[in-house]
Structure 1
Amino acid sequence: MYKDDKEYYESLPRKRIGVAALIFYKKMLLIIQPGYSSSWILPGGTVEYEESPLEALIREVQDELSLKIVPKDLIAVDYVANTDVKGEYLQLLFSTEDLTEEQAQSIEAKFYEVKSYRFMDFDEALPLLAPNIARRLQSLQDHPGEILYLENGKQNPIALLNL
């Protein structure tokens, strides 16, 4: 039994939340290679304490690439199970306004955050991306225009029910 609401809520599990952005320039997807990994991923990062997911997305892309983005829509929520060193977390994927020529030319990868970045055709980027991200993007491609709930990058069968 808990003595009050505070004790009860402090006892509940905590999950990390990650955010990522689909950023396009001339129909090419922006992907990055983070400083801590050899994998390619989408720009974004972890939501900090008392920070909204949108605030985190804007901050992370600014920190990584010195790029100010304009988020548009939430396009996917992906529950990622505890299968590796990352543990379990929720990943929120947002679309953004396409970059202008000026924005694309102003990108400055901060080496401690990002080793490299590139713009690639969507389909050509998929094999380079970390497997969980590639699955997530493939699910989006299979269901264009929908907001998806995913588990480990795949559409959950319960989400397919027309309730």
Structure 2
Amino acid sequence: MVGYGSNVGFDDDMRAEGEPEQEFNPGIASRLPRKRVAGGLLFHDDAGRILMVEPVYKPTWDIPGGLAEDDESPLAACRREVREEMRLDIEPGRLLVVDWIPRHGVWRDGVMFIFDGGTLTAGQLDAVSLQADELSSYKFVTLDEAADHVRPSLERRLRAAVAALDSTVPAYLEFGRDVSES
């Protein structure tokens, strides 16, 4: 079991936290910053290519997954989005990357998580059915091919995720760059 996917223990953990604390300074909680949080799955095929999707709502490709809703973990968001957009019920594997991205235009800063989606089988690929108002296509590509269709920060994040497949620890990035190399 990964995380609280089936809420096993979650209710007990929430009860153990006790009553929520009251605001010492009324209104402070509503003034705290909000961040976007998203979870994505890095799927690959037997040749080592990665699965990319083509969203209908933006000009660049992405990996399957999406934004977390209020009170939803990045892992649960990833699982939900892949199920909704591709009709795949996949239990995400281990965490590969956490990447903080800065505000860009109208988009707030955010924290992006990539989990290992493993190798998709022929049967799983046959079951894919894209949600037409979200995705127009999907394909397996090399990292170099993906680079032609994603923003530079996502390319860096994807390269770190692929490298993390061969590591025992996830990578922590800021805007796609490993800050431990500084």
**Could you state the TM-score of these two structures normalised by the residue count of structure 1?**
0.85
User: Structure 1 residues 23 and 123 mapped into 2: Cα distance closer, same or farther (>3 Å)?
Assistant: same
In 2, Cα distance between equivalents of 1:103 and 1:139: 25
Distance 1:10 1:43, change over 3 A: same
Please say which of residues 137-146 and 10-19 is displaced more in the overlay.
Answer: 137-146
- Taking a change above 3 Å as real, the CA distance of residues 117 and 94 of structure 1, as seen in their structure-2 partners, is same
Structure 2 equivalent of residue 82 of structure 1: 103
In the alignment, residue 150 of structure 2 is paired with which amino acid? L
Tell me how far 1:142 sits from its aligned partner.
5.5
Q: 1-side partners of 2:44 and 2:162: how far apart? A: 15
Q: Residue type matched to 1:70 in 2?
A: E
1:13 Cα shift?
Answer: 1.4
Partner of 2:155: 134
Deviation at 1:50, TM superposition (A): 1.1
Aligned partner (choices 11, 25, 50) of residue 45 of structure 2? 25
Partner of 1:11: 31
Contact 1:69-1:97 at 8 Å conserved across structures = no
> Deviation per CA, 1:56-112, whole angstroms, max 9, x where unpaired?
111001111111112111111111001223221110111123212110111111110
Aligned length: 158
- Equivalences for 1:84-123 in 2 at 5 Å? 84-123=105-144
**Structure 1 counterpart SS, 2:160:** helix
Report deviation, 1:7.
3.8
> Are 1:148 and 2:168 matched, yes or no?
no
Aligned to 2:86: 65
| Counterparts in 2 of 1:93 and 1:75: CA distance versus 1, 3 Å | same
TM-score, scaled to structure 2: 0.77
Quote how far apart the aligned CAs of 1:129 are: 2.4
Q: Percent identity?
A: 31
- Structure 2 Cα separation of the partners of residues 148 and 42 of structure 1: 17
Give the counterpart letter for 2:147 in structure 1. Answer: L
Query: How many Å apart are 1:141 and its aligned residue?
Result: 4.7
The amino acid across from 2:114 in the alignment is L
1:134/1:3 Cα in 2 relative to 1: closer, same or farther (>3 Å)?
A: closer
Structure 1: which 4+ aligned runs deviate by more than 4 Å?
141-144
Partner AA of 1:155 in structure 2: D
Give the partner amino acid of 1:150: L
User: Residue 104 of structure 2: SS of its match in structure 1?
Assistant: coil
Q: Match for residue 18 of structure 2?
A: none
Q: Which has the higher strand share?
A: 1
